[in-house]
Chain A
């Protein structure tokens, strides 16, 4: 036979949670009820969550780096990236050189209604044109609006954070985010 019945212990747990939630303060102000501070939840639209830097929120496009090589579109498991481009003559790199042919991006759409946020496109991009931004508030009332076009994707670039430092013992190289 146990000393304290489990039922009473259970009541104590929930009771203690009430007290901790309503009176979270310590010290002199213990008796001032402040549930908004004591609760573990946050009032979402008023208080925003700060996702970690690596969070895969939305994909940002650094348009200048994109060469329309189609690698991302091909590797995407659900084919939600649409790219169109054309070749264009660009002025030579050095004065007096030959004019170059560069790939110019006409269309770069990501359909977030299809995207499953796996990050393969960002990973396979050989030219550092795609980045993850932790921004997560881009829900839309109409599903068609989830198709982000080139300009919208470029706007996300501003929200891309710098890559964070690595934990001790790592030998990985810290990448750089190009300035927008």
Chain B
């Protein structure tokens, strides 16, 4: 794409203008393996970068070290079993992984969850977003060298995880969503406790914004680093906060809220025109705050009623195909489910957000310095399970 190329050239020129090594001196390039075992890769992503001094000439992500074959596994698992599996794709916001799959299956079976179930689903969805993004807020600070914020992140994420656990029984892998509703209803006192947790999360956001966002060094490290122009981002399939940080006002929650009750609450989609790493951090910080607001509003009026629609005990999904996507913490996640009327899905194609998000990495890393690689990777925020599936 020509727009892509020209944007990139301009970007490289801007990056290299002030301190480009004199090209007439013959220097030996160096190939540096970042990963598969490296603190910045959150697991086993490997990025092969060719360096000229400290400047990246070429970068290539190597994926698949953690490939677990979920799409294939799903073909030999019944629908309830698949729910357990897909939990583990993005392990930090795991409830959010179940939802689009369940929604796709529900669409095929033509059942709809009762309003109470939809409501609770949305609450848990946002809670898992908070659990995921709070960790990003701390982790991003660690990537640029500040150690303390990540401890705050783990500390306050605990409140949210406790709520998820006391409702679903699973701290990391809730496995709470069922075709036609939810496994169980909320325990008594859960609403009040969640409200308290939201207060804690808001104060955590304030702390982070003072400790990290407002910090001059952090801004110097992130502003203007890893600029993703909107058209480039869209052409690479970026989604979620990453594309909203490039000023694209696109949020599946608002634009096509299928099965979730985002249209019932008053909230805002945050965008930032900065396109850089700082913008991505800022958007996520605002989204965490917004998520606490959504949860608070939803908690106010959960409708009463059953949490499970009438579904047969043994689930056989009628033949057909459905694609449902939701706005997961990492970006747009979609499940394309093809059924032949069996107990097991015929084919499940998972569109995970991180996989698309890091496809821009080679484009983005060309011409940056080694420390910026880490900033960019950190700000794009991927979960290895979400890339390799």
Q: Do A and B touch (CB < 8 Å)?
A: yes
**Structural contact, A7 and B186, CB atoms closer than 8 A:** no
A170 contacts partner chain B, Cβ-Cβ < 8 Å: yes
Chain A residues whose C-beta falls within 8 Å of the C-beta of B293 in the assembled complex:
none
| CB of B210 closer than 8 Å to a CB of A | yes
Interface string of B180-213 (1 = CB under 8 A from A): 0001111111110000000000000001001111
In the complex, whether A12 has a CB less than 8 A from a CB of chain B is: yes
In the docked arrangement, what's the CA distance between A110 and B155, Å? Answer: 34
- A167 near B185 with CB under 8 A, answer yes
Whether B162 sits at the interface, judged by CB under 8 Å, is yes
Interchain CB contact (< 8 A) of A169 among B166, B219, B304: B304
Report the minimum CB–CB distance from A86 to chain B (whole Å). 27
Q: Which B residues are CB-close (under 8 A) to A6?
A: 210, 213-216, 218-219
B258 contacts partner chain A, Cβ-Cβ < 8 Å: no
Give chain B residues whose Cβ lies under 8 Å from the Cβ of A164: 187-188
Contact of B170 among A13, A56, A167, A171 (CB under 8 A): A56
Does A167 contact B307, Cβ atoms closer than 8 Å?
Answer: no
**A32 close to B (CB within 8 Å):** no
Q: In the complex, what residue of chain A is closest to B215 when comparing beta carbons?
A: A6
Given A52-B187, A164-B188, A172-B306: A40 and B155 interface contact (C-beta under 8 Å)? yes
Stretch from A60-68, A97-105, A116-124, A150-158 forming part of the interface with B: A116-124
Q: CB-CB < 8 A to B212: which residues of A?
A: 10
Interface centre among B167, B210, B218 (most CB of A within 10 A): B210
**CB–CB A165/B211 < 8 A:** no
Is B168 in contact with A54, judged by CB distance below 8 angstroms?
Answer: yes
Query: Which A residues touch B190, using CB under 8 A?
Result: 167
Q: Are A10 and B215 within 8 A (Cβ)?
A: yes
Chain B's closest residue to A39 (CB) is: B155
Bound Cα distance A116, B77 (Å) = 15
In the complex, chain A residues whose CB is within 8 Å of the CB of B217: 7
- A53 interface residue (CB < 8 Å to B): yes
Q: Mark B66-87, 1 if CB is under 8 A from A, else 0.
A: 0000000000011011001101
Q: How far is the CB of A22 from chain B (nearest CB, A)?
A: 16
Query: Are A167 and B189 touching (Cβ within 8 A)?
Result: yes
- The answer to whether B78 touches A75, judged by C-beta atoms less than 8 angstroms apart, is yes
Q: How far is the CA of A100 from the CA of B187 in the complex (A)?
A: 41
B81's contact among A52, A56, A75, by CB below 8 Å, is which? A75
Verify B155–A14 contact, CB threshold 8 A.
Answer: no
CA distance A77 to B166 in the complex (A): 24
B188 interface neighbour in A40, A75, A165, Cβ under 8 Å: A165
Contact B210 A13 (CB under 8 A): yes
A55 at the interface (CB under 8 A from B): yes
Instruction: List residues of chain A with CB within 8 A of the CB of B302.
Output: 167, 169
- Out of B169, B216, B307, name the residue touching A56 (CB < 8 Å): B169
Determine if B84 and A116 form an interchain contact, defined as CB atoms under 8 angstroms apart. Answer: yes
The chain A residue sitting closest to B210, CB to CB, is A9
Q: How large is the interface on A (under 10, 10 to 19, 20 to 34, 35 or more residues)?
A: 35 or more
Asked whether B214 lies within 8 Å of A54 as measured between CB atoms, the reply is no
| Bound Cα distance A120, B85 (Å) | 12
Write the nearest CB–CB distance from A20 to chain B, whole angstroms: 11
B116 near A: Cβ within 8 Å?
A: yes
Q: Is the CB of A170 within 8 A of B186?
A: yes
Given A52-B166, A75-B78, A117-B173 contact (CB < 8 Å): yes
Task: Map CB proximity to B onto A153-180 as digits: 1 under 8 Å, 0 otherwise.
Answer: 0000000000011111111100000000
User: How many angstroms from the CA of A12 to the CA of B214 in the assembled complex?
Assistant: 12
Residues in A neighbouring B84, C-beta threshold 8 A: 77, 116, 118, 120
- Is A91's CB within 8 Å of the partner chain B? no
Cα–Cα distance between A166 and B306 once the two chains are bound (Å): 12
A51 interface residue per 8 A CB criterion: yes
Beta-carbon contact of B171 and A55 below 8 Å: yes
User: Is B188 touching A117 in the complex (CB atoms < 8 A)?
Assistant: no
User: Is A7 a contact of B215 with CB atoms below 8 Å?
Assistant: yes
A169-B169 in contact given A13-B211, A53-B187, A77-B84 (Cβ < 8 Å): no
A132 CB within 8 Å of chain B: yes
Q: Please, which residues of chain A bring their CB within 8 A of the CB of B218?
A: 6
Within 8 Å of chain A (Cβ to Cβ): is B342? no
Can you show 18 pairs from A to B with CB atoms below 8 A apart?
Answer: A6-B216, A13-B210, A17-B148, A52-B162, A53-B166, A54-B187, A55-B169, A56-B169, A75-B80, A118-B175, A123-B183, A165-B187, A165-B188, A167-B189, A167-B191, A170-B185, A170-B304, A172-B306
Q: Closest 6 CB pairs between A and B?
A: A169-B304, A52-B166, A6-B214, A118-B84, A54-B169, A167-B186
Interface on B for A, CB 8 Å cutoff? Answer: 77-78, 80-81, 84-85, 87, 116, 148, 155, 162, 165-171, 173, 175, 183-191, 207, 210-219, 302-307
